[in-house]
Amino acid sequence: METDGRGFVVTDEYLRTTADHTWAAGDITGGPQFTHLSWHDYRVIKRNLAGELVSTKDRLVPHTVFLAPELARVGLSESQAAAAGYNVRVARIPVAVIRGPGSCARRPGCGRR
Ligand SMILES: Cc1cc2nc3c(=O)[nH]c(=O)nc-3n(C[C@H](O)[C@H](O)[C@H](O)COP(=O)(O)OP(=O)(O)OC[C@H]3O[C@@H](n4cnc5c(N)ncnc54)[C@H](O)[C@@H]3O)c2cc1C
């Protein structure tokens, strides 16, 4: 099975390795290292094992940070969108009004270790 110069397993967009009947998912493929991306790799491989041809090309990558409360984003950040020439409109809501994180934000000491 081919690996790149950093030791990551080389795959194509369908997560096939260079070895027959062998796929690779997650961090070992050398892409962005996020839990949900590894999980999505698994779902892609499961479907490809069943005979589909599901690609990982151009998929949206969730950027998740496991803090308390958890943070996540998908797509361009505000600065990336502005740099790409988009007319950016920003909407803000306080974390405290979001149901899950909000309950953490209202508890004294929550999120501190
Ligand atoms: C400190 C830290 C903080 C992180 N924070 C975040 C975060 O906030 N948000 C986020 O999205 N991601 C975060 N990540 C990244 C996230 O943990 C990984 O992207 C994710 O766990 C990758 O899943 P995986 O299944 O590809 O690999 P892993 O979760 O590493 O699973 C690989 C498994 O293979 C096993 N294994 C290894 N070698 C062998 C072998 N030879 N034979 C059999 N089994 C073997 C290992 O024991 C392990 O259980 C963080 C990672 C670290 C280290």
Position 105 scores a pLDDT of: 65
Task: Find all residues with CB under 8 Å of 67, minimum gap 6, and list them.
Answer: 111
Cα 65 to middle of ligand 1, angstroms: 14
Task: Give the integer Cα–Cα distance in Å for 70 and 90.
Answer: 20
Ligand 1: does its nearest atom lie under 6 Å from the Cβ of 26? Answer: yes
Name the DSSP letter for residue 51: T
Q: What type of residue sits at position 20? A: D
Cα 9 to middle of ligand 1, angstroms: 15
Ligand 1: does its nearest atom lie under 6 Å from the Cβ of 33? Answer: yes
pLDDT in tens, 58-74: 999 999 999 877 888 99
Domain ranges of the chain: 1-58, 63-104
Task: State the pTM of this model.
Answer: 0.85
